[in-house]
Structure 1
Amino acid sequence: MDDTTHNSPDTSGTLDEALERLHSFGPERDGWLSNHAPMAVEALVRHGQAPGVHRWLDHYRAKLEDMPARFTEVTPDNWREALGDPRRIADWTAYFERETAGRPWREVLAEWWPRLLPGIAAGATHPVIRVGHCVRTLLASGENAPRVAELAHGLGYWAARHQPLPPLAPLAPAAGAAAALDAVDRVPDQSGGIRERLGQLTGFPVWPPRPETDAGPARPETDADPARTRPATDPDLARARLEELVRAATHRYAAYAHGSPVMLVHAATAPNAVLRTLPALPRELWAPSLDAAWAASAAVTAAYAPARPADYPAAPEGLTPEEVFARAAAHGDDHTIKFTDTALDVGGPAALAAALRSIELNPPVL
């Protein structure tokens, strides 16, 4: 992944001001649509666009709703029954506020990450994306009250919307992340929302291959070779595979985004959120994180990818990453900002072309 485009941590205080401004609002509107503001403002500040953040928030304010009323307190004794109950959004947020007030945020994250990973599809993957943006700031800029509170909001949203995927059969293995995404079958009925589409999933290609077979071509899965269905267990290999997945999903967006320009960004931004979180997690959690990230990316691909790719223009020669992000910021669409942020993480002409495709296909809002 390319880290050369990352700017220095924010010293203006803009991000903390924005987070404090946002924390009186809930993570959703209209019953289930996600509040993207915390994620978008983090990306804007990250890439040198802090002067425009409050103007952007002023425009986005119409999409914000107050935090829902409390329902029943979440406790260490009843959290399992509260998991996946969207009525408990405020209760879960309060729970994580208490947890992060009493313990280091990394300790809370490490405890809850494996509990939440099976529900990575929650809220169309927005909760894990929100957590990934927050953790990036905590790691790069240090902790303070607004940033730790943002982690509590992200984890609370994830717990309340926790949504495991249906049981999935392991299909023929793929040699690489790009081939694996190409081999994902589209869901039969693409007329409903994401919850209806995810309910139709039946199986994904086996990826990544076992570490000991990485050097050779993928072999057909047989009953005598069940280890083909296991993910890489070495943490460093898991991280490399996760980077490969983010890169493949970002590049693929350019050719397939016309199927659903908004929803398909999550095939890249969800696994990138997991990648951003890895440095804050114990290394033994890196391999299961890769497994969950692949499931999320494949699920979004199955739910929204069109049947055929489309042609798209290459990035103009000489166009810099900073110029591309400035275009995304001026465009103003939250998904476009977040996808361009991920594209700059990936780096290179193909990723910039994908970012420009998101600017082209998503309606501008500023």
Structure 2
Amino acid sequence: MTELDEALTYLRDCGPEWGPGVSNHGPMAAEALVRLGRSEAVGRFVSDYRKMLYRDAPVRAVAIDGANWRAALGNMRLLGDWNAFFRDRLAERPWREVLAHWWPRLLPGLPAGGGHGVIRTGHAVRALAEKETPERVDELALGLGYWAARYQEVPGSGRFLGSRSVTRVWGEVPKLHTRQGIGEIFRIRLEALYLQPDFGSVVDEVAEPEDAYELLSVVTRLAAHGYLTDNHEKYMGFVHALTVPAAVRLVLGHLPVEQHLPSVAAAWQFTAAIRSVYGTGHREPAAPVTPVDYETLTDRAVATGDPHAIKYVEACRREDRTAPDPIYAVVATDWIRRMEDGTWIE
């Protein structure tokens, strides 16, 4: 059994959230550590992280099936039923078939758990693509189950309906004119988007791209620039504005081609939603950031023991390798510094 499989086994009885509704990042960060070449750090990380998690045993209330699954979406009380549902599906059919069948059904609710449903699913898919084990299959079931139970939509069609570049539309994302739900629980803040009637029509103005993968790179670059120069209220929000589309990239190659554009549209919609609820506007960085190499950033991320540090460095490195741009190392460096000195909450 690999370090990752052992970690997934150790964390299996922990629920997908802890504290005041904060997502459990343990499985995602463990997989990211492996990708960063730090398998030897997985055991120590999960042992420390496990101490803050709950031991959950979700109740079974409803038998979810082909007739009632839509009505069960977004009902966290049915988490146990959703987990069982996807475990059954994955026991019946190959994981890629289950993924291709359910991905488009869950996609409109991509903001589930502040995007952590799709992030957890993305890490599980990458792990499975490398090696299929019972532990990784089960992790995919838990990722999909969390996504379904926390399913949450935001305004917009989830399609590319306009004729304008994503960069131009990014500059016109409207700022949410309320502080309702401001804080670290993204789903509460995102729900307030329904008080901003022009958000959906603006994000739909993006033209359909020729290359879905290339547009994902544009979106993650915009999220990185937004982290650094947007007049935002939460650095954490803009961290996830990048890690969510980066997680979608992990899954695209395992989906039918007709699902690629809708997936990228949903990722763009989420990233724009984060900008609307936490940012918009422009400011200069407080001080120039000199980027550090990713090997050093990885060491520093591991030293923090924080899953956001680990996941952000890994996602930035991956996006940088896909479409090289210095901005990724700059924001990863700044985030690690903030995690180390406690200024990430600013």
Normalising by structure 2, what TM-score? 0.87
State whether structure 2 residue 259 is matched by structure 1 residue 285: yes
CA distance in 1, matches of 2:206, 2:70: 33
Q: Is the 8 A contact 1:175 1:207 kept in 2?
A: no
> In the alignment, which of 315, 324, 329 is matched to residue 297 of structure 2?
324
Percent of residue pairs bearing the same amino acid type: 39
State whether structure 2 residue 67 is matched by structure 1 residue 77: yes
State whether structure 2 residue 198 is matched by structure 1 residue 198: no
**Which digits, 9 at most, give the CA deviation of each residue in 1:301-354, with x for residues without a partner?**
1111264324142334xx422222222221222222211111101224221110
Match of 1:8 in 2: none
Q: Is the 8 A contact 1:168 1:201 kept in 2?
A: no
State the number of aligned residues.
328
* Change beyond 3 A, Cα 1:97–1:171: closer
Q: Which moved more, 1:153-162 or 1:52-61?
A: 52-61
Match of 2:25 in 1: 36
CA distance in 2, matches of 1:364, 1:79: 45
User: Pairwise CA RMSD of aligned residues?
Assistant: 2.6
Match of 1:341 in 2: 314
Q: Is the 8 A contact 2:241 2:270 kept in 1?
A: yes
> In the alignment, which of 74, 87, 110 is matched to residue 77 of structure 2?
87
In structure 1, give the amino acid aligned to 2:218: E
**Which digits, 9 at most, give the CA deviation of each residue in 1:187-234, with x for residues without a partner?**
111342432433334325346754xxxxxxxxxxxxxxxxxxxx33x5
Q: Is the 8 A contact 1:257 1:264 kept in 2?
A: no
> In the alignment, which of 167, 187, 191 is matched to residue 176 of structure 2?
187
State whether structure 2 residue 265 is matched by structure 1 residue 267: no
In structure 1, give the amino acid aligned to 2:289: A
* Change beyond 3 A, Cα 1:169–1:267: closer
* Change beyond 3 A, Cα 1:275–1:48: same
Match of 2:278 in 1: 304
CA distance in 1, matches of 2:53, 2:23: 9
**Which digits, 9 at most, give the CA deviation of each residue in 1:214-260, with x for residues without a partner?**
xxxxxxxxxxxxxxxxx33x5xx122212221222123322348621
> In the alignment, which of 259, 268, 280 is matched to residue 294 of structure 1?
268
CA distance in 2, matches of 1:171, 1:282: 18
Q: Which moved more, 1:265-274 or 1:319-328?
A: 319-328
CA distance in 2, matches of 1:262, 1:349: 20
CA distance in 2, matches of 1:148, 1:133: 12
Point out 4+ residue stretches in structure 1 off by more than 6 angstroms. 168-174
**Which digits, 9 at most, give the CA deviation of each residue in 1:149-177, with x for residues without a partner?**
11100000000011111357999968544
Unmatched 5+ stretches in structure 1: 1-11, 211-230
Three-state SS of the structure 1 residue aligned to 2:51 is helix
> In the alignment, which of 100, 108, 113 is matched to residue 123 of structure 1?
113
CA distance in 1, matches of 2:316, 2:180: 29
Normalising by structure 1, what TM-score? 0.82
Shift, 1:66, TM fit: 2.3
CA distance in 2, matches of 1:298, 1:59: 34
Shift, 1:62, TM fit: 2.9
Match runs of 1:96-245 below 5 Å: 96-139=86-129, 141-166=130-155, 175-193=164-182, 194=186, 195-196=188-189, 197-202=192-197, 203-204=199-200, 205-206=202-203, 209-210=206-207, 231-232=208-209, 237-245=211-219
Q: Is the 8 A contact 2:157 2:204 kept in 1?
A: no
Match of 1:250 in 2: 224
Three-state SS of the structure 2 residue aligned to 1:362 is helix
* Change beyond 3 A, Cα 1:206–1:166: closer
Three-state SS of the structure 2 residue aligned to 1:109 is helix
Shift, 1:59, TM fit: 1.9
Unmatched 5+ stretches in structure 2: none
* Change beyond 3 A, Cα 1:170–1:114: closer
* Change beyond 3 A, Cα 1:324–1:118: same
In structure 2, give the amino acid aligned to 1:291: A
In structure 2, give the amino acid aligned to 1:293: A
In structure 1, give the amino acid aligned to 2:339: N
Match of 1:315 in 2: 290
CA distance in 1, matches of 2:327, 2:44: 31
Q: Is the 8 A contact 2:203 2:272 kept in 1?
A: no
Q: Is the 8 A contact 2:160 2:205 kept in 1?
A: no
Q: Is the 8 A contact 1:313 1:353 kept in 2?
A: no
In structure 1, give the amino acid aligned to 2:212: A
Match runs of 1:18-37 below 5 Å: 18-30=7-19, 32-37=21-26
Three-state SS of the structure 2 residue aligned to 1:166 is coil
Q: Which moved more, 1:322-331 or 1:41-50?
A: 322-331
CA distance in 1, matches of 2:158, 2:214: 25
Shift, 1:266, TM fit: 1.1
Three-state SS of the structure 2 residue aligned to 1:262 is helix
> In the alignment, which of 318, 327, 338 is matched to residue 350 of structure 1?
327
Q: Is the 8 A contact 1:315 1:350 kept in 2?
A: no
